[in-house]
Structure 1
Amino acid sequence: MAFTAQDVVPISEARARLTELSDEVVAGAEKLLTKNGAAYVAIVDARKLDYYHRLEAEHASLVLLGEAETGLRELLAGQRVASDDLLKALS
């Protein structure tokens, strides 16, 4: 989602407009708060934040699944690591 000029708000201004900004976020907007002209934090709808967290967890699961699949392929291909080498790599 691209931010519009109305979505970028100095944090000093956001203090006075928090209810208004929150209502806009619940209606679908995302707000980027700036501090000294630089991006600082975002205001995101709580449901969207929950969705983002679920996506992150799903991504982590897919990465782990991919790593497990790679390990199984290597095992089936006869590629093994000696336990001493494994312990060295892990330390």
Structure 2
Amino acid sequence: MGLRASDVVPISEARARLTELAEEVVDGGAEKVLTKNGASYVAIIDAKKLDYYHILEQEHAGLVLLDEVERGLRQIAAGERISNVDLMNALSD
């Protein structure tokens, strides 16, 4: 869903319309971007959508970790190893 001009609201206006904006977000599925001095500042989104974003972040972090594990296993299989001493030295730097 694209962002419409009506979804960009100055934060000074949002103070007076907070309940109305929140209802538009929850009931209409809109997301609101609040601006401060003409620049994007914060957003109002549905709490369920925020929960979903957090789940996606966790899944992404897991995929990144799995990618690192896979890379490490490939390095081990290729004989690319360092000694414990070298590892400890690298970690302490």
- Establish whether TM, by shorter chain, passes 0.5: yes
CA distance in 1, matches of 2:91, 2:14: 47
Q: Which residue of 2 aligns with 1:16?
A: 16
Q: Which residue of 2 aligns with 1:83?
A: 84
| 2:55 pairs with 1:39 | no
CA distance in 2, matches of 1:85, 1:44: 48
Corresponding residue SS for 2:70: helix
| 2:5 pairs with 1:5 | yes
**Alignment gaps of 5+ in structure 1:** none
TM-score by length of 2: 0.92
CA distance in 1, matches of 2:79, 2:90: 19
CA distance in 2, matches of 1:16, 1:43: 15
CA distance in 1, matches of 2:3, 2:10: 14
Q: Which residue of 1 aligns with 2:52?
A: 51
Following TM superposition, where does structure 1 have runs of at least 4 consecutive aligned residues deviating by more than 3 angstroms? none
C-alpha deviation, 1:82, in angstroms: 1.3
Q: Deviations 1:6-62 (Å, cap 9, x if unpaired)?
A: 000000100111111001111200000001111100001000000000000000000
